């Protein structure tokens, strides 16, 4: 089991750790990780690790068995031995863009209040697939509402509920294709805004910015028909 340091603070870019295991595929499992593993539409982190004068580029990060987080080397090379003390550092500019975009997609689900059937977080362009039989009448208005919530600089925070509380409030789940994990007796909710200014509350395991003002300007992109009931809406970061 890997301690997910990004869960307590998404702004941690580097940390020390110990190599806990190697995988059969040549991955590295640490006892604690600042690297976010691919999941919930958000790509895994890249970066590098160093140990005893050696360094290794990390191409991506994935989930392993038993709550392990697996770092995938960018090229074949000798792995740091199990038990080694290492230093880890993520590609922070890339992670921060992904954090901005992930929070922006939550805002997109606010201005288009329809069920979400899929999505993907990118560092400059992201998308959500909506159960949307007809295209929106005024995309410019949607874009204006998105950027207004950014200008409002809303607080982004988290809270936790039990599996039973989530089961009693199924409307919290917006993304039908990626239901929140159950069985750990608690589910993380990401909240945007607070009090009367709360605009969104939904289960999410990804990394987010601390305030919406950090996102920067958004541009609504192409809206594609992907089926009789589905439309794909693209979102771009222009900064």
Kindly tell me the burial class for residue 156, based on how many C-beta atoms sit within 10 Å of its own C-beta (0-12, 13-18, 19 or more).
Answer: buried
Name every residue whose Cβ is closer than 8 Å to that of residue 73 and which is 6 or more positions away in sequence. 26, 27, 28, 56, 57, 58, 59, 79
User: pLDDT (tens digit, 9 = 90+) per residue, 123-180?
Assistant: 999 999 999 999 999 999 999 999 999 999 999 999 988 888 887 887 777 775 556 6
Q: Mean pLDDT across the chain, nearest whole number?
A: 93
Q: Is the pTM of this model over 0.85?
A: yes
pLDDT at 120: 96
Compute the distance between CA of residue 6 and CA of residue 33 in angstroms, rounded to an integer.
7
pLDDT at 165: 82
- pLDDT interval class at 118 (50, 70, 90): very high
- Which is it for strands 32-33 and 3-4: parallel, antiparallel or unpaired? parallel
Structure tokens at 46: 């890249």
What's the rounded mean pLDDT across residues 22-51? Answer: 96
Whole-Å CA distances, 159 to 107, 201, 216, 238: 18, 9, 25, 30
- pLDDT interval class at 32 (50, 70, 90): very high
- pLDDT interval class at 185 (50, 70, 90): confident
User: pLDDT (tens digit, 9 = 90+) per residue, 75-89?
Assistant: 999 999 999 999 999
What's the rounded mean pLDDT across residues 29-56? Answer: 96
Query: Is residue 226 over pLDDT 60?
Result: yes
Residue that the structure tokens 């941690």 belong to: 12
- pLDDT interval class at 238 (50, 70, 90): confident
Report all structural domains of the chain as residue ranges with CATH numbers, in order of start: 3-90 (2.40.30.130), 95-237 (3.30.980.10)
């Amino acid at each position: 089991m890997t301690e997910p340091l990004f869960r307590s603070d998404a702004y941690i870019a580097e940390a020390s750790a110990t190599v806990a295991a190697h995988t059969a595929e040549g991955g590295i499992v640490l006892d604690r990780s600042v690297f976010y593993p691919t999941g919930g539409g958000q790509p895994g982190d890249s970066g590098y690790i160093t140990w005893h004068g050696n360094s290794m580029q990390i191409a991506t990060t994935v989930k392993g068995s038993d709550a392990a987080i697996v770092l995938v080397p960018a090229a074949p090379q000798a792995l740091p031995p199990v038990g080694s003390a290492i230093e880890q550092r993520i590609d922070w500019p890339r992670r921060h863009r992904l954090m901005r975009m992930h929070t922006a997609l939550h805002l997109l689900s606010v201005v288009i209040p329809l069920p979400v059937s899929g999505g993907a977080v990118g560092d400059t362009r992201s998308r959500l697939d909506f159960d949307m039989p007809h295209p929106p009448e005024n995309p410019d208005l949607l874009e204006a509402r998105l950027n207004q919530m950014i200008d409002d600089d809303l607080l982004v925070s988290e809270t936790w509920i039990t599996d039973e509380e989530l089961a009693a409030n199924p409307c919290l789940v917006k993304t039908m294709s990626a239901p929140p994990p159950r069985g750990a007796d608690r589910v993380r909710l990401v909240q945007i805004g607070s009090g009367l200014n709360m605009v969104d509350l939904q289960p999410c395991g990804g990394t987010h910015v601390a305030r919406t003002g950090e996102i920067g300007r958004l541009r609504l992109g192409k809206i594609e028909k992907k089926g009789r009931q589905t439309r794909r809406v693209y979102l771009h970061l222009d900064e």
